[in-house]
Copies of this chain bind each other. A is one copy, B any other.
Amino acid sequence: MDNTFLEKSALQVNDGVEQPPIVNPNAISRFKKFQHKMPSANEFVEGILCKNTTMLSKAITLVESSLPQHYTLGQEVIERCLPYSGNSIRIGITGVPGAGKSTFIETFGKMLTAQGCKLAVLAIDPSSERSKGSILGDKTRMETLCADQNAFIRPSPSAGSLGGVARKTRESLILCEAAGFDVIFIETVGVGQSETAVHSMVDFFLLLLISGGGDELQGIKRGIMEMADLLAITKADGENITKAEQSRILYQGAMHFLPQSESGWAPKTLTCSSYANTGLTEIWDVINEYLNFTKANGYFNKNRLRQSKYWMYETINSYLHDNFYQNPDIKGKLATYENAVLSDKLSSFKAAKQLFDIYTELAKKQEL
């Protein structure tokens, strides 16, 4: 049994001035389950490569853990799985409230598994920062898919910040790919920066919308429409069919006025219905068309490489950030300086410089 407990500090990253890292009580209870029998790195890696989803689950729990003693083992498992990763189609899925995202994922997912696809469904839920509730926590919302042998569903990880949640999801994605999953969904709710995080780790970004005059966009933060490679108007069934098609045409027109994406791909719009099981094969066709297009023009690989690089720098920046903003001396002074800036007593720039000078002095005295 591998008992390498060498790491000094919790692997926790924070965005700016948020709460200090918390230890996830779920991690502690899962750890206790492990205590009898924590698999070794070899057992994890071999299990994952043999497509053993129980071992995959345990490995994801391990890398999601905030406990210092899990860090080294978790990172070793990831390192060894890395050469086996990369061979899946990574699809980000978000939607306006009411679009029926879970139902869509279940129906669309079932269509893929029926074709023999092995599908993993991960999630980034910003509200799980506080270690409670996750969009996939209630698996009964996707009962059929949960029971499907070709599907693997995982709730959003918890962490002290969105950065932490995103990083753990990306690490889990690597493990899922090593375990042989062909398609990986990363789901999030349309509330803000989580879309940017998802967008930075997927190949294709799908936005689910509902029909209507435009009001429903109130729930989506600006900038997300421009990330989408495909907009799908859901619930295009029964009396709503015509309205859904009208909305589709309007959105298609609006998309024409957004600047072109770097990939060269012109985003498309479709309607679909999970209830009537329509439009779903068309969505899959568009995804494949996108993949062929971006592989042919080189963007697919270029984007993957850029995302790897991005995550290295994102993580470095998170560490720099955290080291400063979590320092007790600095934390104690931030509010004072903020108030001075807000009441025009101190310029933003002088305040920043003074705080930074305090920090470098602390570094020298080795008080960081």
Q: Which of B219, B338, B366 contacts A309 (CB 8 A)?
A: B338
Interface residues, chain A, with chain B CB atoms under 8 Å away: 11, 16, 75, 78-79, 82-83, 85-86, 167, 170-171, 174, 214, 217-226, 250-251, 253-254, 256-261, 305, 308-317, 319-321, 323-324, 337-338, 341-342, 344-353, 355-356, 360, 363-364, 366, 368
Q: Is the CB of A352 within 8 A of B316?
A: yes
A-side interface mostly:
helix
A72 to B217, CA, bound (A): 48
The 8 Å CB contact of A352, one of B223, B250, B312, B346, is B312
Closest residue to A260 on the B side, CB-wise? B218
A316 touches B356 (CB 8 A): yes
Q: How many copies of the polypeptide does the oligomer hold?
A: 2
Question: What are the 3 tightest A-B residue pairs by CB atom distance, in nearest-first order?
Answer: A315-B352, A254-B257, A311-B348
Given contacts A254-B254, A257-B251, A317-B321, contact A347 B174 (CB under 8 A): yes
Residues of chain B lying within 8 A (CB to CB) of residue A225: 257-259
The chain B residue with its CB closest to the CB of A254 is B257
Contacts of A310 in B (CB 8 A): 348
Least Cβ–Cβ distance between A248 and chain B, in angstroms: 12
The answer to whether A344 touches B82 (Cβ under 8 A) is yes
CB distance from A87 to the nearest CB of B (A): 12
Known contacts: A319-B356, A349-B311. The answer to whether A344 contacts B83 by CB under 8 A is yes
In the bound assembly, the distance between CA atoms of A345 and B346 in angstroms comes to 47
Q: B324 and A259: CB pair below 8 A?
A: no
